[in-house]
Amino acid sequence: MIGLGAALVLSYLLGSFPTSIVVGKVFFRRDIRAEGSGNAGGTNTFRVFGWKAGILVVLVDVGKGAAAALLASRLAADVPLPADALKLAAGTAATIGHVWTVFAGFRGGKGVATAAGTLAAVAPLPFLAALAAFALGILSTGIVSVGSLSAAVVFPLAALALRLAGYPVSDILLGFSLILGPLIFWTHRQNIRRLLRGEENRFEKLRLLAKLFHKRK
């Protein structure tokens, strides 16, 4: 149990690394939380500091979740729990750290990138399906939150479909996916309100599918 506790604490600290805040202050001498939407995540970094900084933040945040699942979970290797459970527990701790970071007054991002890193490490096939949904949502609307919410819906459906098709999808992974979706929706509750009002921020340059469809018409 000491190993499990150490794994969860290390994972939380990994997730708590405030990537967007560090990038903003080190490279731009500005606080991302005081600009744009005020969210300390990759999307707001794209909006405020540009695509290069945004990609850097997203990659690091994804890496936090993957590192927790693949590396930090090994500290609990002797705990009599399934491997999926240990990896998901560590990844969840990292995601919680990202959303409520101890290094920035418990005010972090929405957790999508860090959760994605965890899922990529634990369940690559459902992750790829969710990634496709994420890309389709963004390329159709230009709205990142639409992509995130689409991925949150598709991941558990993909996991369930693979399970029904005979692929080795554990009960633990399936149950986790059903919990993760509502969590992503909860962290995006303000985005959902803006979507319903038609006020959500849009990246017009990313609306490639919409523009292609419009040209063909």
How do the domains of the chain map onto residue ranges?
1-109, 123-217
User: DSSP strand E in 87-129: where?
Assistant: none
Closest to 211 in 3D by CA, of 140, 144, 146, 147: 140
- The whole-angstrom separation of Cα 103 and Cα 84 is 28
> Nearest Cα to 41, choosing from 65, 21, 16?
21
Tokens of 172: 């633990």
Band (pLDDT 50/70/90 cuts) for residue 216 is low
- The token duo for 5 is 């506790």
Computed on alpha carbons and rounded to an integer, the radius of gyration of the chain in Å comes to: 18
Mean pLDDT score across all residues of the chain: 89
Question: In the prediction, which pLDDT does 215 show?
Answer: 57
CB 123 within 8 A of CB 36: no
Q: What's the pLDDT tens digit per position in 42-95?
A: 989 998 999 899 999 999 999 999 999 999 888 887 888 888 898 999 999 999
Nearest to 7 by CA among 51, 72, 89: 72
